[in-house]
Amino acid sequence: MVRGVVQGVGFRPFVARLAAELGVVGFCGNDVTSVFVEAEGPESVLDRFVERLHRDAPPAAVVVAVETWTVPTRGEAAFTIVPSRHSEGRRTLVPPDTAVCADCLRELFDPADRRYRHPFISCTNCGPRFTIITDLPYDRPVTTMTGFPLCPRCRAEYDDPADRRFHAQPVACHDCGPRIRLEFDQTAVTGDDRVLGAAHARLAAGEVLAVKGIGGYHLACRADVEDVVQRLRDRKHRPDKPFALMVRDLEVARRLVEVGSAAERALTSTAAPIVLLRRRPGSGIVDAVAPRLDELGLMLPYTPLHHLLFASVPGSDVPPPDVLVMTSANLSGEPLCWQDDDARTRMAGIADAFLINDRPIAVPCEDSIVRIEDGVRPDVEVVLRRSRGMAPLPTEIPATDTVVLAVGAELKNTITIAAGPNAYTSAHLGDMSTLEAREAFLRSVDHLIALHGVPPQAVAADLHPGFLTSRWAAERAEAENLPLLPVQHHHAHLASLLAEHGRVGRPVIGAVFDGTGLGCDRHVWGGEILAIGEDVTTAERVGHLEEFPLPGGDVAVRQPFRVALALLHHAGLAGRDWTPAGVPEAAVAAVRSQLRSGIACVPTSSVGRLFDGVASLLGVRHAITYEAQAAIELEAAAATASAAHPLSAPVVDGRILVGPLVAAVVAARDAGVPVPNIALGFHEALTAATVELLTATADRTGVRTVGISGGVFANRILARDLARALARRDLDVLTHSRIPGNDGGLALGQAVVARAMLRKGRRD
């Protein structure tokens, strides 16, 4: 029994070819738990056979375990692949989608190949998997390809053990596969090259195309004309948040951004994520793509259709693009469009034309996002959004018999099902602020449960009772008479880091910095030093950022000038005559009055809000249009500094004091110190204070493992400098790589803590 990611990755054909090579007879097939194999031959040959099941597995396979036992010989004459069967037990792992492979690309552009320029070319080594699966075991009838009967030639390949497309479920060709069309103004263009030629013409003319991909729709347009990109921003209601780009190949990528060896590996990996990289001057990419930022998010084409979009069309005189804006098809705050009718409706006022195909999508899936960071180790790929190409690969966690559904938080939502030794985390779902987002959340819950065949026996959620996910979890638990386990936000962050590193059950001290998380004292936390012992069910708050008032609560998140005024008030500088540029004096006066009275001023220890306030004090950003915009632009300013202006944040009684740091920032600003230098000095002061607090706690407790988690550590400067400084003090530093350190990893941590609580018979 071979367990792991062994269905949809060419594993059965691989087993059949291996058996033929070694002279082994028998059979193999799929069931819902594994690939089952019966092999007959001399004992020494069977030993080599089992060894090579591990060693030589197909590129997209992940072999977790091979369980063997001896049965009586049957006298088989050959080795065959038998029909799938149903069995009881924990279901096998579902493979993620993978980028088109080199073999398929060669065929795609080979005029002599029968799949020349076929937009859906794939094989056992590449193509859609997770986004087309409707059930297990993984066979064509339980994928969205079931509506495309195989033509005789595809059927022959599908049935031939020597062929690369042997039992490749998405296999298709011009005769039997899905087809593309271009829709605009109640007109439809059909025929692959006519569609692609028309698409090139419309892109060249500055139009916006909605392009259906593997897991949903993108909005595509030129990236070299300011008016075109700005028009997309206006239609999408996305004033500032950066757009991702898709480029033809690595050569184009190197013209736009700095591409090191680690970035090249990430860009060309089977996951093909968006990679955030420093932009080069004179790239030709207009400022509207990523306003005021020093990096661009790039990805390479990962589907055959994408590759065709960047290739010349025979007989057409319209040159193909080298680079396109390629951003999710949605309005700001809404989930991805993935169904055709929904896309036509919701994107009607945004897209000028629709590049559609008739292959249904079973599961929507956004692009994954990674960054290359130099912390304790050089060139580490850090996942910021774990989705296409990565989900739903599991994380191994301590096994229990209880199945837990963890529902994450309100932003960057994902959900997790923990069953046996594995935690299965969904693709990125987004922010739970719209009806469409909530519907996507419910679909994802149902799909994850159905796919893994494991109805939950308990539900875990964030401690915050006002989160939609927390309210839904409470209703689900009550309706099904299940235990409800609330897990404190920052506790869950640190638990997810332990799970990623296989350290659950081992002591750790962690810095967990983010924007908002409800604390056990009902204050807004976000600058926490936590200690977790061998018992992951409890976390001790051993230090934190000094609390300061947050006037208006969530309103202050969108208006950093409010945080700036609160910091001045907290630092004893409320009398200073400072009015942020562009903010009405009446609004400033109202906040000052609010701070004096204390009405609706929530205490917070949030490092995210501290970044916001300092950004406003330095004139970087007084109001935001996307999450963490002020902090991101402050980091971008710091990256251009000629030198760090010396600042400090004192540490007293386990608290990083805010008042003296803010006073020093204001003094430097008023003295005319360049903003980038102050911004870098602020980063360094916060790093030094955090190192001091963590080191003192490590010395006091004897715990030498230190973790770094939370959304603030998407900041490259802070994450890099903190990790390096801690490592220089001979501490074992854990940072996120495969699991997002932001709220995208929160459900995993909730599941880990909740299962440990249930094992101990606890509910909170």
pLDDT in tens, 456-474: 999 999 999 999 999 999 9
- Give the pLDDT mean for 379-392: 94
Burial (CB < 10 A; 0-12, 13-18, 19+), residue 315, is exposed
Tell me, what's the pLDDT at 87? 65
- Give the pLDDT mean for 343-371: 96
- Give the pLDDT mean for 230-236: 97
Q: Which two tokens stand for residue 556?
A: 């202050």
pLDDT-derived band at 161 (thresholds 50, 70, 90) equals: confident
Point out the catalytic residue in the list 12, 129, 388, 669: 12
pLDDT-derived band at 160 (thresholds 50, 70, 90) equals: confident
Decide: helix, strand or coil at residue 108: helix
Tell me, what's the pLDDT at 60? 80
Tell me, what's the pLDDT at 611? 98
Of the two residues 617 and 574, the one the predictor is more confident about is 617
Tell me, what's the pLDDT at 88? 62
Within 10 Å of residue 366's Cβ, how many Cβ atoms? 22
Of the two residues 620 and 62, the one the predictor is more confident about is 620
Alpha-carbon span 358 to 340, nearest angstrom: 9
Tell me, what's the pLDDT at 333? 77
Q: Which two tokens stand for residue 659?
A: 């008042």
pLDDT in tens, 575-621: 778 889 999 999 999 999 999 999 999 999 999 999 999 999 999 99
pLDDT in tens, 649-701: 999 999 999 999 999 999 999 999 999 999 999 999 999 999 999 999 999 99
Q: Do 128 and 121 meet the contact criterion of CB atoms below 8 Å apart?
A: no
Q: Which two tokens stand for residue 34?
A: 């594994």
* Sheet of 395-406, strand order: 416-425, 395-406, 458-462, 484-487
- Give the pLDDT mean for 79-94: 75
pLDDT in tens, 718-728: 999 999 999 99
Within 10 Å of residue 341's Cβ, how many Cβ atoms? 8
Classify the C-alpha dihedral 434-439-443-449 as positive or negative. positive
pLDDT-derived band at 761 (thresholds 50, 70, 90) equals: confident
Of the two residues 453 and 72, the one the predictor is more confident about is 72
Q: Give yes or no for residue 450 having a pLDDT over 80.
A: yes
pLDDT-derived band at 574 (thresholds 50, 70, 90) equals: confident
- Give the pLDDT mean for 311-318: 96
Beta strand pairing call for 458-462 and 395-406:
parallel
Q: Which two tokens stand for residue 446?
A: 């149902």
pLDDT-derived band at 286 (thresholds 50, 70, 90) equals: very high
Q: Give yes or no for residue 220 having a pLDDT over 60.
A: yes
Q: Lowest-pLDDT range, 79-83, 236-240, 510-514?
A: 79-83
Tell me, what's the pLDDT at 91? 65
Written as one string, the DSSP assignment of 267-279 is HTSTT--EEEEEB
Classify the C-alpha dihedral 192-196-202-207 as positive or negative. positive
Tell me, what's the pLDDT at 4? 86
Backbone torsions φ then ψ of 732, nearest 5 degrees: -85, 110
Tell me, what's the pLDDT at 504? 97
Q: Do 363 and 398 meet the contact criterion of CB atoms below 8 Å apart?
A: no
Alpha-carbon span 725 to 75, nearest angstrom: 65
Q: Give yes or no for residue 352 having a pLDDT over 80.
A: yes
Q: Give yes or no for residue 258 having a pLDDT over 60.
A: yes
- Give the pLDDT mean for 694-714: 97
Average predicted confidence (pLDDT) for the chain: 94
Of the two residues 702 and 5, the one the predictor is more confident about is 702
Q: What is the CA radius of gyration of the chain?
A: 27
Tell me, what's the pLDDT at 635? 98
Of the two residues 70 and 91, the one the predictor is more confident about is 70
Give residues with Cβ within 8 angstroms of 275, minimum separation 6.
Answer: 263, 266, 267, 297, 298, 299, 369, 370, 371, 372
Point out the catalytic residue in the list 3, 17, 30, 164: 30
Q: Give yes or no for residue 125 having a pLDDT over 60.
A: yes
Distance of CA 274 to the CA centre of its chain: 10
Domains in the chain, ordered, with CATH?
A: 2-81 (3.30.70.100), 94-367 (3.90.870.30), 547-693 (3.30.420.40)
Written as one string, the DSSP assignment of 388-453 is TTTTT--EEEEEEEEEEEE---SSSB--EEEEEEEEEEPPP-B-TTSHHHHHHHHHHHHHHHHHHT
- Give the pLDDT mean for 380-387: 96
Of the two residues 734 and 164, the one the predictor is more confident about is 734
Token look-up 């936000």 returns: 489
Decide: helix, strand or coil at residue 501: coil
Q: Whole-prediction pTM value?
A: 0.94
Q: Is 12 a catalytic residue?
A: yes
Of the two residues 174 and 162, the one the predictor is more confident about is 174
pLDDT-derived band at 54 (thresholds 50, 70, 90) equals: confident
- Give the pLDDT mean for 317-334: 93
Q: Give yes or no for residue 68 having a pLDDT over 70.
A: yes
Tell me, what's the pLDDT at 657? 98
Within 10 Å of residue 74's Cβ, how many Cβ atoms? 11
Q: Give yes or no for residue 89 having a pLDDT over 60.
A: no
Tell me, what's the pLDDT at 208? 98
Alpha-carbon span 383 to 274, nearest angstrom: 10
Tell me, what's the pLDDT at 362? 94
Q: What angle do CA 741, 744, 746 make, to 5 degrees?
A: 75
Tell me, what's the pLDDT at 334? 86
pLDDT-derived band at 707 (thresholds 50, 70, 90) equals: very high
Share of the chain above pLDDT 90, in %: 84
Of the two residues 434 and 535, the one the predictor is more confident about is 535
Q: Do 323 and 224 meet the contact criterion of CB atoms below 8 Å apart?
A: yes
Q: Is 422 a catalytic residue?
A: no
Closest alpha carbon to 93 in 32, 151, 175 = 32
HSE of 537 in the Cβ direction (CA atoms, 13 Å)?
A: 13
